[in-house]
Amino acid sequence: DVKVTQSSRYLVKRTGEKVFLECVQDMDHENMFWYRQDPGLGLRLIYFSYDVKMKEKGDIPEGYSVSREKKERFSLILESASTNQTSMYLCASSLLLAGVGEQFFGPGTRLTVL
């Protein structure tokens, strides 16, 4: 079975801190994604990557950066966390198949910024 793991289920940080969210997948998938999920707004794509060292902005990249140094690992970085970044963060991965590749999601990290 494909497994997507995220470094923490719950995280509490202070405003201004640098925050790293880590995601690892074990199925050699080319694509990896970071979403955030908020009540009433649904899931929104922050960044995605289709290869090592490649990244593409999603719909809401402001305030975030990403790193993909190895194929299996995709990191989301909040350079200076703010309270409006309190959210559920979901990582996903998929094969590079146009239009049809199933995305596999991790369990999510609930981040609270105080």
Partner 1 sequence: DAKTTQPNSMESNEEEPVHLPCNHSTISGTDYIHWYRQLPSQGPEYVIHGLTSNVNNRMASLAIAEDRKSSTLILHRATLRDAAVYYCILRDSRGQGAQKLVFGQGTRLTINP
Binding site for partner 1 (CB under 8 A): 4, 31, 33, 35, 42-45, 48, 50, 56, 58-59, 90, 92, 94, 96, 98-108
Q: In the bound complex, what is the minimum distance in angstroms from residue 83's beta carbon to partner 1?
A: 23
Which CB sits closer to partner 1, 75 or 93?
A: 93
Dist CA 26 CA 10 (whole Å) = 22
Rounded to a whole number of angstroms, the minimum distance from the CB of residue 77 to partner 1 is 20
The Cα–Cα gap between 59 and 11 comes to 24
**Nearest partner of 108 among 15, 18, 6, 11, judged by Cα:** 6
Closest to partner 1 by CB, 45 vs 82, is: 45
Q: Which residues contact 3 (CB under 8 A, 6 or more apart)?
A: 25, 26, 27, 104
Closest approach, Cβ 35 to partner 1, in A, equals 8
Both tokens of 102, joined, read 């199933």
Q: For residues 70, 61, 43 and 104, what is the CA-based torsion angle, rounded to 10 degrees? A: -10
Q: Which is nearer to partner 1, 58 or 61 (CB)?
A: 58
Nearest residue (CB) to partner 1, 58 versus 63: 58
Least gap, CB of 14 to partner 1 (angstroms)? 25
